[in-house]
Copies of this chain bind each other. A is one copy, B any other.
Amino acid sequence: MSTQAEDTKSRIFLTAAELFADYGFDKVSIRQICEAVGIRKPTLYYYFKDKETLLLEMINFSKKIGDQIYEEQVEKPKDFLDKIRGLIFGRKIFIEKYPQFFRFHAMIHLFAIPEKVKQEMIQYVLSLMLRFRSLLETGQKQGYVAADEDLDFLMMTLTSSLNHLTIRKFVFHDDSALTDENLERMYRFWLKHFFVTQDKQTT
């Protein structure tokens, strides 16, 4: 594929991601995407078999980035609390690296998509949760999480809080939601309520 082609495909990709994020999958027509990119319809179909395929490729790309960042920020750090920090600040990194794409990633959960794609998304989110849960178990064994903690609800609470921030930014247009300051504040909130710090441990 020539450079120009690569460029066209990628422009379709990013433009569509933004439009989908803004208006939802169904509300964005192929024509709209093409107008925004500055191409004609058959050109889009030259690169993407159909609308659903376009969405699927975007979701896969989005998963890949998400996984990459999760590995880098959550799995790589040795210390449990660093992992937790990584979980929170991973979002920040996603935004900085793929600004146009993060909104898509954040919104995809929220809009009407073909049932088949939806089921795949659900499976993926469930797998992420399992992954995170086993991380909490490790934390528990290491003494960072109370021995009698309700891990299911802990996981749920952390996950949903994090998502809430993203929703606040992109649905409620609250730009303060994902600032460094706010993420830091969330980290402190979690530390205080859910995790046993070294201080408390030594005490």
Contacts and interface: CB of A to CB of B under 8 A. Distances in A.
Contacts of A26: 24, 26-27, 112
A153 B24 contact: no
Given A122-B171, A153-B189, A185-B150, A27 B164 contact: no
A185 B157 CA distance: 13
Contacts of A130: none
A56 interface: no
A160 interface: yes
A103 B23 CA distance: 22
Nearest to A174: B126
Interface string A139-165: 000000000001001101101110111
A110 interface: yes
Interface string A87-107: 000000000000000000000
Q: Could you say which interface size class chain A belongs to?
A: 20 to 34
Contacts of A163: 160, 164
Contact of A161 (B112, B156, B171): B156
A122 B174 CA distance: 11
Interface string A173-200: 0000000000001101100011000000
Contacts of A194: 193
Nearest to A22: B115
Interface of A: 23-24, 26-27, 109-112, 122, 125-126, 150, 153-154, 156-157, 159-161, 163-165, 171-172, 185-186, 188-189, 193-194
12 contacts: A26-B27, A26-B112, A110-B110, A111-B111, A111-B112, A112-B112, A125-B172, A153-B161, A153-B186, A157-B189, A160-B161, A193-B193
